Amino acid sequence: MRLFLCEKPSQGRDIAKVLGATRRGDGCLIGTETTVTWCIGHLLETAPPEAYGDQYKTWSLDHLPIIPVQWRVEVKPKTAAQFKVIKRLLNEASTVVIATDADREGEMIARELLELCNYRGPIQRLWLSALNEASIRKAMSSLKSGLETFPLYHSALARSRADWLIGMNLSRLFTLLGRRAGYDGVLSVGRVQTPTLRLVVDRDRAIASFVSVPYWGVDVHLSSMGQPFIASWLPPSSGTDEAGRCLLQALASRTVQAISSNESATVLSLQTEHFREAPPLPFDLSTLQEVCSRKLGLGAQETLNIAQALYETHKATSYPRSDCRYLPESMFNEVPTVFDALLKTDSALRPALGSLDLSLHSRVWNDAKVTAHHGIIPTTEPANLARMSEQERQVYELIRSHYLVQFLPHHEFDRTQVELKCGEERLTAVGKQIQVQGWKDLLHDAAEEDEFGQKSQVLPVLQQGAQCAVNDVELKSMHTAAPKPLTEGDLIKAMKNVAKLVNEPRLKQKLRDTTGIGTEATRAGIIKGLIDRGYLLKKKRALMASAAAHTLIEAVPVAVADPGMTAIWEQALDEIEAGRLSLDAFVAKQANWIAQLIARYRSLTLAMPIEAGPACPICNASMLRRKGKSGPFWSCSHYPDCKGTVPIRKETRRP
């Protein structure tokens, strides 16, 4: 019997339908010679510390570091019944086809089960980019060898074990150090979550320390041949900051008077450049999350859930957890089929599709830039828009439009910069003249406008020496603005582009082409976990770090919270996936690093924001706030040598 092992029941049903496995069994679908079964996400989990010894049930510095010699996994209690089904089917299987999600985590979900159940038979890999029937049949015709994707499993195991070593050991270490300093909460530390948290803490600090500075500008309203335009004053360097802003109100006021006394300004020079903007590429998951945060106000996890539903439930779009925005050359042949499916999905598209050129071969078709997955695009089969929620439809239309613009011309425009002189003052004006609207006919994003940081205006036809009439002069009083709080979309972008935040030149170069902090599949979950733990607070779209988050970032070693270090770890996982680094070598290095950190920090005294307590009634030492079965109380800081306690009155308890 050939057994297909899927990641989710819905995925199993889609594959079983194509295979003709229609007879229902216990946790599976059965065909003539084929059975399809499924996990329910991860059926197994890495065993907790107490599984390696009863001594670890109590948190103690004496027990750290905890480094397993033989790693263990445990069956999740909620899905134990399905595990038994899969174990029975594996005993009967002659061949297994891994049909879980085509990524690192999907590989691990299947391979851990095969290993725990001691399956030793042949293994093949079904590599799906979409769950519509045509895509499944295409993938069935080109099954991969199990050996080809095995390194993905070791990469996922390395990630899992590194996360365990850092999370279990450092969370216990800093929680215990916090308790010693009187902090009664848990200080949770994670390989990815802590550097991610630092990004928000750093932004909060930048906002809190920001001091607004007043500055002044002068806009000069000019006209030539009856056509008005606006020029800006170029202040002398002696009165400006590094950004060229005038900091002297008196200087700006004198300039207004000086320019007002002139009737005209003379064109000193003008330069025109022609620009061609290629259509934006189809989405990868991070870019989709950024755009959905900005345009639709969706959280990162919300966007991922919607993209997963469009892929899994509606069969409308391709695999969502992609880190690639390009498409394979071979898929160019499917364009007419995709267009036909889009038209059947939404007949209102007919006018828009009529303006597209299906022969255009944009930069998106590039085999050299396609990774394990391609960009997120519509599938070759019609979808049912009526079954989609409003948000699902909005996200679907974004994905669709980014595919369709590949068949429109470049957006072309001329940018002209003019320098003028008015009396003794220098002015500049920038104009944009659109020559070809191109893809912006279909996809227009106001946030992507103003790419040169200038007001968009059409300048009159000017030439050197031309005289322009001065119609009005405007003094503008402004203030420098504090950095804005991060949104979830901003945080996803910062996690992905972490190289920009690293100052050390060699590390910065190494990180330039890596995936940054986390992966496409994990970033949304990391952010959600930080929100759920109370480290991140969300106010409308803005994220802010809680007091506990600031405490944690101040307490942990710089290396643990360094985004650059985390991205280097991700690079190591890629090396394992490529077969250039072994799983054991990576885990041993992580274990050694953890042991060194614990040895260095176990005697650290944390400076925690602790509520001041009374003096101990027995030894007069300071008292620390503790949490007991009946609520908080004051306990002597010399415990257990001194067991003095004082109850906390109700009115003094924290809200």
Owner of token pair 């038979």: 121
Identity of the residue numbered 14: D
Label the pairing between strands 264-277 and 631-636. unpaired
The secondary structure of the chain in percent helix, strand, coil, rounded to multiples of 5, reads: 45, 20, 35
Q: Name the CA radius of gyration of the chain, rounded.
A: 31
In degrees and rounded to multiples of 5, residue 308 shows phi and psi of: -65, -40
- Name the token pair of 452: 């040169």
Rounded to whole angstroms, the Cα distance separating 219 from 563 reads 42
In degrees and rounded to multiples of 5, residue 636 shows phi and psi of: -60, 135
Burial of 528 (0-12, 13-18, 19+ CB in 10 A): middle
Residue 535 is a catalytic residue:
no
Q: Estimate to the nearest angstrom the gap between the alpha carbon of 414 and the chain centroid.
A: 35
| Structural contact between residues 541 and 553, judged by C-beta atoms closer than 8 angstroms | no
| Structural contact between residues 189 and 174, judged by C-beta atoms closer than 8 angstroms | yes
Burial of 147 (0-12, 13-18, 19+ CB in 10 A): exposed
Mapped onto helix, strand or coil, the DSSP state of residue 389 is: coil
- Name the token pair of 125: 């890999």
Give the long-range contacts of residues 636-639, CB within 8 A, separation 24 or more. 637/182
Label the pairing between strands 73-75 and 95-99. unpaired
What secondary structure letter does DSSP report for 283? B
- Name the token pair of 237: 């360097």
Active-site residue (options: 319, 326, 396, 403): 319
Positions marked active-site: 319
